Structure 1
């Protein structure tokens, strides 16, 4: 039996040992945070090293051309030196003393090499596959995943029509899921695992399955990977396989059925580290556990029960790039980053007693980390600043070694969040935040916006968030917190199944009450509420259960759990996981938890923001709630963004991101000012 008395040292430290400034700071010499400030922020991701050389990708928003550019950079004397100028770098690999870029075009992948000096890229290989993940033994021997289409829609068309794009004329679905947010139609699409050796390519997995999660042992004897099929809709699960490279045989290993494996990494040639989540009917959102797998015996050993800290993590953001770092493993334990309430520290888990202790100071949110020189290289943001690189020796304050975003942030009126303590519906002391308006005047009342995060398995941090900072610069106070259902406080805290719109709603209202009680500049008669995804459904829910908000802006929302079941790319498991019902076994429960059921009670003027290619919270979800409010004579408006998806606020086309924020701000200006 594993020990359950896991150390809560980080939570105790976070709730009892942090303090933020309690007075608004302004500097009239600085520039205001504008509606387009996100385009000035450089989002850093995909950090790798060769010796002491540091490489990374920077993504920028180009307002003029209404697009994003992504290029490969090297850190030189604290500055970002561009190594590519195409603007299309999606990722890269490091091989010996070279950098390998992949360029995909029309089902082919061209491999480009940047050798020492990192000058002009030269092509060294072209494959007729759309290549994804790659694990190299050498240039002539590697493993890769690639997309595969089970059937083409134009196979039997006359030659005269094959040149035309059939997908623009019709769509054919014959399986679930048939589309995916951000990817479009995925019907018949699979990821196949291949081995490339001396010019020959061999498929290692069935084309009916999806392969992924590759990990190569240090001695190049084994490859670990996962495969999944589309037969189980409500339970996320896959199978773990170990491939013997010399023997060219694969064996399946596992803990039990209905288990999902991830974060594969070899400790040495004999053991594999991984996370595994076995389905829990009572709480599908429970954390994963940590395991060691003996390659030869196939035996699993649990080394941490995953409570309360998950491997990896992240805080809700609208200015950063996606990052993932492999855990750092040694004989004493494992080092990884994790969401801890509203922080993202680097922590160490001890194998000996399963205690988790923070390594980095808690005012640093660590997005990525690598072993470097005698310590660590961190990609992190400190307080309200943007991402930068830091050297960290494991003990002392991290030392910043770059200026990629710092000067930009320092020249603008960035507001410092202030802490709000409150007691949630479970009697737990929790913490949220308020951003005071810039140019704050004592004794004056200010309109206030409640911003609710997505997920709900997510968390807001105390770091920079563009839309909130923009509203503060527009004269609003902004309040935000992490109600039950979110990340960073363990599986029990994340449990919402059967009580969606219950305990989380209670927590949100308790937080609003506490904010009003603690900050007398909040005008309780001029409150607005907004949020996207989970924040959108909660906005819809709130306006049907209270009239305390004078205006609302519901973004990429859910209004009807019954319709979501058959429309969303995750509808077949998301509703079941949170409501515990489906339309055929308990339609009444789904309807009872649907904001649409309470539309006849809504009095709050509400703006709806939606995208026509949002397959996570499809457009009909916003339209239904909007139509109902129109029917009942409630002031309402819907703005539909063409060609955008669920990620509009984070990676939508730059001009559409500006238009979205402008629409929300104008709506609040109309009803709150």
Structure 2
């Protein structure tokens, strides 16, 4: 076995978006790889045959990552495949070219072109398609202009790129850029007439939408606002034939995350009133009877996280986490340290479908077969088939990692940090561990804070274990998977969570005597970056730190980040005007004059979740007070640098941290 190398992730395969064909005989999914030379990701569509178990590559131009089934044997996907279209995109033209390809062979053929940027497309019939598209109130709709007017509009847009006008908050969004006066609108496209018809108006932003089985009605979640985006949203019902639109919910009541037809006469919703636990509150399921227009909560006692928050740096691509299939809603939950697949019916009866520890990242269910993309037994993503309660691995894209590389096991440790409070964590020993030898160690803190670490593959941790470090991780209070009370950190940031992490560290050092207590480093990103900043201002026990995409000042975060104006008030119980001292007390920057720990700061210039200024403030404070500090800023990256950043940037990030720890811990 060879040691895991720092750049091994360039050879990993990442799977996403599995979906059965209408007849259930095949399933399509996306496979993504890194191209280090071009510094980008390559994506292709693959197909699994349920009849003979065969898995084969369908597309090969490295740019196909999303799709829908048109019929039992034909797949539709968007792509830019010729130089002329590429030139139009570079010029700024708005269009989405769709291709169709048969799964039994043959080349992809041009199907139709929508004269807008389209996403989340759904087929109503062979002639009609429903899609979402970004809308900008500062721009003219190019698809309604003639050629001369369109050229003038494109020229005007090019000139306007030097300016950004802000009239709303949030004014930008991580991964999307500036969003003031921008919305996601719903449209219908007719292939025969090549015409587009908007469904929603310019002030409504659509968050999610679904069709009923007959495909004559649309349910969608939307935010209608001007000036300040509210935390709550509404459910709308649209009749395609009559063009009648009806708002089903009372504004200002709930924040909805999903809406779908569980039957022709009933909707199932996922939402929260945010009253008891704020923005981190676990959501509940509701049923809407369309005949009576009544909303009823069918899971009043449910206290589970309805999403997959098990962290890993070995995923790429998006997948739906909730789907209505044959009168049941299927959904993923995070419980303790794993994610599972479940179903619920209109009466609120929940059934566990996939219950093995690990991570369920995507799935597709039909009458005869259950498929899922998951991470099992410290392996990377693969496609699995459920046979009874047994899981059968179908693919072996990443089998070489287990076959050729040394993977360090995770040893679980549970620590009582307060009366009645037990937190769980793991220790990863160096792969070349020698009894009696002392080793440096790195404490790695997850983001969120409402996410979890689990027993899944994490490249950076495995690399460090192969590089001579022990690594230890935990899920302190504030983490996901154990209900609302455990996750509730409001007004407590830097208190109970800090105590949990420090007591966990004490327990690790006591149990694992091979760790050299004089050579321990600490790192974390997002919330983990906040906690890293907090730790170095409250203890000198760590000899080096790497703070990533961090928070240092809750006052500046309030007015500068895409979630600042609601997240800070919600989580800290204060604004800069009603309790400035409260925000300052919880800010790591306040304690920067006490820091002695050499600290590396990793930040991206397009991180609008934890803006660059947060890292710069802490870096400046440390340099001012004579502490060794270094800031590495990544241009063109955002909050997702460590998970989906450009391949070379991800490699540089990990190298920066490793070199920093090597300098001070080895």
The alignment's TM-score, normalised by the length of structure 1, stands at: 0.90
Residue equivalent to 2:224: 229
- Output one character per residue of 1:83-105: Cα deviation in whole Å (capped at 9) or x when no partner: 22232223111122221112374
Could you tell me whether the CA contact under 8 Å between 2:168 and 2:228 is conserved in 1? no
Cα distance between partner residues in 2 of 1:306 and 1:646: 34
Could you tell me whether the CA contact under 8 Å between 1:79 and 1:403 is conserved in 2? no
Distance 1:177 1:118, change over 3 A: farther
Deviates more, 1:111-120 or 1:240-249: 111-120
Residue equivalent to 2:83: none
Matches within 5 A, 1:18-167: 30-50=1-21, 51-75=24-48, 81-97=56-72, 98-103=74-79, 105=89, 106-152=93-139, 162=155, 165-166=158-159
In structure 1, stretches of 5+ residues that fail to align are 1-29
> How many residue pairs end up in the alignment?
641
Offset of residue 169 of structure 1: 2.9
Q: The residue matched to 1:563 in structure 2 has which SS?
A: helix
- Output one character per residue of 1:439-473: Cα deviation in whole Å (capped at 9) or x when no partner: 11112221110000111121111100000001000
Could you tell me whether the CA contact under 8 Å between 1:52 and 1:373 is conserved in 2? no
What RMSD over aligned residues (CA atoms) do the two structures have, in Å?
2.5
Alignment counterpart, residue 378 of structure 2, candidates 384, 396, 401: 384
Is the aligned partner of 1:284 residue 2:279?
yes
Alignment counterpart, residue 533 of structure 2, candidates 525, 537, 540: 540
- Output one character per residue of 1:497-520: Cα deviation in whole Å (capped at 9) or x when no partner: 111111111111121112112222
Q: The residue matched to 1:667 in structure 2 has which SS?
A: helix
Matches within 5 A, 1:148-297: 148-152=135-139, 162=155, 165-166=158-159, 168-197=161-190, 198-199=192-193, 200-231=195-226, 233=228, 235-254=230-249, 257-280=252-275, 282-297=277-292
Could you tell me whether the CA contact under 8 Å between 1:79 and 1:402 is conserved in 2? no
Residue equivalent to 1:18: none
Cα distance between partner residues in 2 of 1:295 and 1:581: 40
- Output one character per residue of 1:187-241: Cα deviation in whole Å (capped at 9) or x when no partner: 3221111123453322111112202311111122321012103458585111101
Residue equivalent to 1:636: 629
Q: The residue matched to 2:337 in structure 1 has which SS?
A: coil
Could you tell me whether the CA contact under 8 Å between 1:567 and 1:618 is conserved in 2? yes
Alignment counterpart, residue 664 of structure 1, candidates 654, 657, 666: 657
Cα distance between partner residues in 1 of 2:229 and 2:491: 16
Is the aligned partner of 1:418 residue 2:411?
yes
Q: The residue matched to 1:527 in structure 2 has which SS?
A: strand
Distance 1:110 1:623, change over 3 A: same
Could you tell me whether the CA contact under 8 Å between 2:232 and 2:251 is conserved in 1? no
Cα distance between partner residues in 1 of 2:403 and 2:358: 17
Could you tell me whether the CA contact under 8 Å between 2:28 and 2:45 is conserved in 1? yes
Q: The residue matched to 1:574 in structure 2 has which SS?
A: helix
Cα distance between partner residues in 1 of 2:300 and 2:326: 19
Deviates more, 1:170-179 or 1:126-135: 170-179
Residue equivalent to 2:84: none
Could you tell me whether the CA contact under 8 Å between 1:286 and 1:492 is conserved in 2? no
Cα distance between partner residues in 2 of 1:153 and 1:626: 43
Q: The residue matched to 1:266 in structure 2 has which SS?
A: strand
Alignment counterpart, residue 322 of structure 2, candidates 304, 307, 326: 326
Cα distance between partner residues in 1 of 2:517 and 2:495: 23
Deviates more, 1:595-604 or 1:489-498: 489-498
Cα distance between partner residues in 2 of 1:515 and 1:385: 25
Cα distance between partner residues in 2 of 1:232 and 1:159: 29
- Output one character per residue of 1:279-320: Cα deviation in whole Å (capped at 9) or x when no partner: 216533111110111122111121113633233323111111
Alignment counterpart, residue 560 of structure 1, candidates 537, 546, 553: 553
Deviates more, 1:147-156 or 1:396-405: 147-156
Cα distance between partner residues in 1 of 2:16 and 2:447: 22
In structure 2, stretches of 5+ residues that fail to align are 81-88, 143-148
Residue equivalent to 2:86: none
Residue equivalent to 1:14: none
Matches within 5 A, 1:288-307: 288-305=283-300, 307=302
Cα distance between partner residues in 1 of 2:626 and 2:200: 57
Distance 1:281 1:357, change over 3 A: closer
Cα distance between partner residues in 1 of 2:184 and 2:330: 30
Is the aligned partner of 1:336 residue 2:323?
no
Could you tell me whether the CA contact under 8 Å between 1:532 and 1:556 is conserved in 2? yes
Q: The residue matched to 1:398 in structure 2 has which SS?
A: strand
Deviates more, 1:625-634 or 1:288-297: 288-297
Q: The residue matched to 2:298 in structure 1 has which SS?
A: strand
Alignment counterpart, residue 578 of structure 2, candidates 556, 571, 585: 585
Q: The residue matched to 1:599 in structure 2 has which SS?
A: helix
Distance 1:427 1:357, change over 3 A: farther
Distance 1:357 1:139, change over 3 A: closer
Distance 1:611 1:116, change over 3 A: closer
Q: The residue matched to 1:414 in structure 2 has which SS?
A: coil
Q: The residue matched to 1:638 in structure 2 has which SS?
A: strand
Distance 1:554 1:126, change over 3 A: same
Alignment counterpart, residue 346 of structure 1, candidates 333, 341, 346: 341
Cα distance between partner residues in 2 of 1:464 and 1:478: 13
Residue equivalent to 1:3: none
Q: The residue matched to 2:433 in structure 1 has which SS?
A: coil
Could you tell me whether the CA contact under 8 Å between 2:223 and 2:230 is conserved in 1? no
Could you tell me whether the CA contact under 8 Å between 1:547 and 1:604 is conserved in 2? yes
Offset of residue 166 of structure 1: 2.7
